[in-house]
Amino acid sequence: MKSMNIAASGELIPRLSTHRNVVALDSTDFTDVAAVVITTADSRSGILALLKRTGFHLPVFMLADKPVSAPVGVTAVIGRSAQEWLELENAACRYEAELLPPFYDTLTQYIDMGNSTFACPGHQHGEFFKKHPAGRHFYDFFGENLFRADMCNADVKLGDLLIHEGSAKHAQKFAAKVFNADKTYFVLNGTSAANKVVTNALLTRGDLVLFDRNNHKSNHHGALIQAGATPVYLEAARNPFGFIGGIDAHCFDETYLRDQIRDVMPESADAPRPFRLAIIQLGTYDGTIYNARQVVDKIGHLCDYILFDSAWVGYEQFINMMADTSPLRLELNENDPGIFVTQSVHKQQAGFSQTSQIHKKDNHIRGQARFCPHKRLNNAFMLHASTSPFYPLFAALDINAKIHEGESGRRLWAECVALGIDARKAILARCKLLQPFIPLEVDGKPWQAYPTETIASNRRFFSFEPGAKWHGFEGYADDQYFVDPCKLLLTTPGIDADSGRYTEFGIPATILAHYLRENGIVPEKCDLNSILFLLTPAESEEKLARLVAMLAQFERHIEDDTPLADVLPTVFQKYPVRYRDYTLRELCQEMHNLYVSFDVKDLQKAMFRKESLPHVAMNPQDANSAFIRGDVELVRISEADGRIAAEGALPYPPGVLCVVPGEIWGGAAQRYFLALEEGINLLPGFSPELQGVYSETDADGIQRLYGYVLK
């Protein structure tokens, strides 16, 4: 690895005796330096406090012409002797040696060895690619190190990623320490796989699983289709804007849950711990955060294990106002459930796409019959892991843990939260139509009137108070949920927050999302009258200022009723006849009218309410088996009423099943997909991605939605 820099006061740079490059203190963020040299005057300027806040634990030397005491935060005072310069160099070398986490450190050293390989992968450090012009372009684009880091396990120096030996094991142990887990497993094919690993290790046919209806489809796949467990569904909230909310408070009542068990497996209704596993979203896609302590206290005694699917969080324990909601920070005893936490590191932490991790926290039940030992979990792990892992993905997970270690992780997320608060304030100041999804007032004062540091330190500025009009969620209890400060959520016009009813004019969020993408800004997702932007420590003031400016510019286009050809040129050029002479407001009004005519907001809400969930006709595993055997037929959704679904149906994002295999088509779910079908035909260019439902063009040129049902 190339030697890191030394950072020094400008006046000291010409005086330092070192082979390393020396950079000025005011020209570095200290991520590229291995030691710092300051003057006596610098020590009183605030630089030591700044260095402490970084959490990097850099060695700091003070250069002085005469002996002085080292201030707090200074490693040593040095003069100009050769021995003292050597002391500086040794400290920098120690810092470099201790900086890199276990697997990544071993990987970089191995690459530097320059071994000749006759093993997989066949491109052999990229040499195969370089023998063709297209391959050369590919190689040059990604760079040499990526190809040298792509290797197989034929050489054991890097350890084994499947049975967790060597540096791979050390990396996962380090991550477990950082995230407060008993064991951690790195997963290289996403939290979709991580959820299947956990559910396949714990569940079998005949087991009861307490199942958040908001769960990602991967939990359905692992728990219900692959394992064949029997679900007891927990109804969940949707608000009129289209945001995904949490489970109703009453669903955590023991009497209620035992009554639900009697409907599906009466012989287990009075068992001490009827549920082998509960699967709960710790944070929904739209930033509704659960309190893990509350969940464990209310239902933990009914469950052997709880899986907190934390795909959309994972950083909560590094943010002061969120830390006590983290399942990995819980104090647990032998009567509590075992805890699994799955995290999509690639979503808002520092990881390549597909990087995920499983945290296991169950030493408190070790020795009990319900305990899931490592070998059993690893058996499921290997069912879903490739025997040819991509080492850079694993290394990214290792680095992610290092980044989050200690004060540096907490500082990075504190800065992210503050930037998000300031962005919301800027939107409130510059926009009238697009509004942050936060309380309008706190203790009688406007939300934005409070100092940023006050908002960042108190959860009540993000709390869903039961019955509050601004959020529109029903069924919540006090202190049950709050808005994730790292999800920048905005609402668009179209819903009266006080009544929850449609207004005369509305701006569907998908139109805003298209506009932003036209202008080089990519939101995470949108739905009905809501849009989501993910915030991470990668954000900057400049980046968020550009977003705010673009939101304000969109509002001006609405006010000016700009021609659609100027606002959404890509859509217009693709469908020039359909949108000839359209203005932006006309498009908004037509799509809003479609929502109103189908009452889409209430259909979306109803799909996740107990009274209107699709009726369960058979176990999802059996329905999937029928699909595999071909005992199915493809029918129009408009004609699917009363038929048993062979395949799960959902819009993506968010990837939450509206109809589960084995459930009967009809009711709110059927009407919802028919509303989508109408929109696909009426408003080309704005079609959603659908899974488990297929759009096919009929002879009359109309697109119809189809789904597989059992014969």
Active site residues: 216, 309, 347
Q: Which residues contact 449 (CB under 8 A, 6 or more apart)?
A: none
What span, in angstroms and rounded, lies between the C-alpha atoms of 466 and 473? Answer: 8
C-alpha closest to that of 397 among 197, 164, 233: 164
Q: Which residues contact 27 (CB under 8 A, 6 or more apart)?
A: none
Burial of 656 per CB tally in 10 Å (0-12, 13-18, 19+): buried
What span, in angstroms and rounded, lies between the C-alpha atoms of 13 and 8? Answer: 6
What span, in angstroms and rounded, lies between the C-alpha atoms of 242 and 475? Answer: 16
Confirm if 683 and 663 have CB atoms less than 8 A apart.
Answer: no
What span, in angstroms and rounded, lies between the C-alpha atoms of 419 and 485? Answer: 10
β-bridge mates for residue 709, sequence order: 633, 645
Neighbours of 133 (CB within 10 A): 8
CA distance readout (Å), 505 to 383, 436, 532: 52, 19, 21
C-alpha closest to that of 675 among 641, 705, 631: 705
Find the radius of gyration of the CA atoms of the chain.
Answer: 28
What span, in angstroms and rounded, lies between the C-alpha atoms of 206 and 586? Answer: 54
CA distance readout (Å), 396 to 159, 209, 354: 16, 33, 11
Q: Which two tokens stand for residue 118?
A: 């006759």
Confirm if 697 and 684 have CB atoms less than 8 A apart.
Answer: no
The amino acid that residue 205 corresponds to is R
CA angle 195, 199, 201 (to 5 degrees): 120
3-state secondary structure 465-525: CCCCCCCCCCCCCCCCEEECCCEEEEECCCECCCCCCECCCCCCHHHHHHHHHHCCCCCCE
What span, in angstroms and rounded, lies between the C-alpha atoms of 251 and 232? Answer: 11
Q: Which two tokens stand for residue 566?
A: 């100027």
The bridge status of strand 183-187 relative to strand 356-361 is: antiparallel
The bridge status of strand 338-343 relative to strand 435-436 is: unpaired
What span, in angstroms and rounded, lies between the C-alpha atoms of 691 and 220? Answer: 14
β-bridge mates for residue 38, sequence order: 62
β strands within 299-394, DSSP E: 303-309, 338-343, 356-361
